[in-house]
Structure 1
Amino acid sequence: MDRQFRNALGVFALSLVAAGVAWAATARERSLAIYPAQNIPLRFDHAQHLEAGADCATCHDSVSKSEVARDRNLPAHPECETCHDIEAAQKGQKTDPPASCGTCHPGFDPTVRKEPAKLDLPPANLRFTHKVHLDKKVECVTCHGDMTKVTLATRQQLPKMATCFECHDGRAASNACTTCHLKEASGRLQLNFSSGILRPMQGDPLGLDHGPRYEFNHGSRAAVSRQLCSQCHSDSYCQKCHDSLQKPLSVHPNDYITLHPVQARTDAQRCESCHRLQSFCAACHERVGVGMDADPSLRPRNAKVHPDYATWVQIPGPQHHGIVASRDIRQCAACHREESCMSCHSELSQRQQVNPHPNGFANNCKKLAAANDRACLKCHSETSLAQKGCR
């Protein structure tokens, strides 16, 4: 094996491993649509403060009255000054614990610039009230984890949905999506935020990971959990793919035109969820020469679809086209239109007329015509029906 090729193969393998690790990490990540990215230019150690005797309320006392997620329940200088003598440190005095600006704002020198770098902590895109949770005696550690092992808290200390479901199980607390998630005027969940698009990630407790290739297995889940899907998606959203006007390129693999007959014969109903036999399949087959109504110059000479003419048309038996059509008319409709059948079976045709009805059909034709004569009028005129006693 060429050395250059081996090296390239090795790089490719490493990239696959790295991609796998990155994807696996999303199980521990928080959605940017819920918790926007943060910039926290601070030096802080939660573990050190807790070990020194501080508790959560020492620095975050405002959470006891906080009722919305946009509240910024973080300590400012007044809370810090309970222990840190900031004024003395600014005068150059030695303090214990340290209270200089650089203690919390690394690299900041007030003699060079007046203000330290600002924190960027966008609020969570959620409906949430700390007050209600604290009134119900929910401990901080329940949602934020063990802070005795955490230095600077980030998005990683914010609760994931699996944590919320430990209480929001539909019994102890509501598990409706709109209990926590923002919604639009339509009543559906808001999916688009400036920080990202809301979609279930790996590790989603509902088992709705919308990861790669989800379009191939979402149908079975949508069939049994349609109400859950409708919390985010409208019927018009589904129709963007399922009306067959624009096919997502990820649905079919490369060279699917060559392979599609196998799947179409074994799972035609799946094909029909997007494609209409007459307006899509038959039209395409005629354009490429596969189909009775295709231009003769386009028809392939090496393709044999049906048995020999006598077996297929003249001799009654299991391979006769009428028997095959009665077993699976969809297969016929993939290449033939109604006009193909009527060219031989309609009284209105100029060609030889072959009666497709079984013996004794005339005894029931009047009843069938009275129920719905649209099928009858495809091949018979009003006068013909009257003459046959079907009127």
Structure 2
Amino acid sequence: MIFMKNPKNYIFVLIAILSSAGAFVFSKDQRIFPHKVHIDGSIECVYCHKKINESTSTTGGKEIPYRKICDDCHGGKEGFSATIRLRYHQVYQNNHQFHIKEQGLACKDCHEALYTKEAPSQEESIVKMEYCFQCHDNNTATQYCMLCHVNPTVPDDHLKGWNKLHGKKANAGQKECQKCHTSRESCLRCHRSSKNVARYHNPNYQATHRYESRISLKNCRACHSDRQCRDCHKASGVNFKSPLIQKRHPLGWTNRSSSHFHGRKAKLNLASCTTCHTQNECRYCHFWMKKGLRL
């Protein structure tokens, strides 16, 4: 039987125990279990988490120690009585047997904060995603989220009307979002719908997006990649390598007598030209072509 020295020096209000699986989160009124105190007392992880080395799944709270294990030290004169019900909130599962036995990882490799801080925050107590990504990079190991996040719960801050406000919160602190939403694909599941385009672009965005991108390219890249720009421009004929290039201009756009003559159109709506063309492109035709046409 293991007893801790001077137990009166510590306040063990055991409302919630964090499994070494990192599979649980706490409500705001719960105190985080002081792992470091026990580690410093030379108590091995496996003393409390008896079957952790054999565990292939953390679902169902199987990694939470039985209360009688706590009573070994805290059931009599040597400590307080562990009578408070243990609670947990399932977040994700993990195959400890695979990581410990086959990959040779130690508890501290993933749960470092429990070894170094007296009272780590909730976020620090749970395994950080950057630890996972050291191996789960889609090269060494898969990045398939649902492999571990089998039944992800909705965070407390995702309240009613959250879908209308999350954009501002994301701009204020994307790192908070990226704890769960690890790729742009998470955003695009909702945002790529054609019915939502009007919510993010003005009605004339095809003519104005060039200027908007110059003002804040970051806003564009929140959804669009450079490749998407090229693919869309090529498909719609606004790329010089596109076979559709001539179709973007009406018949007669180079004919001065035509109602579709580009000079006349430019005077009526210059933005329709400058969406694709720069002033240098105008000069190229008007000053350097053989006929030396004037502006």
Normalising by structure 2, we get a TM-score of 0.48
Normalising by structure 1, we get a TM-score of 0.38
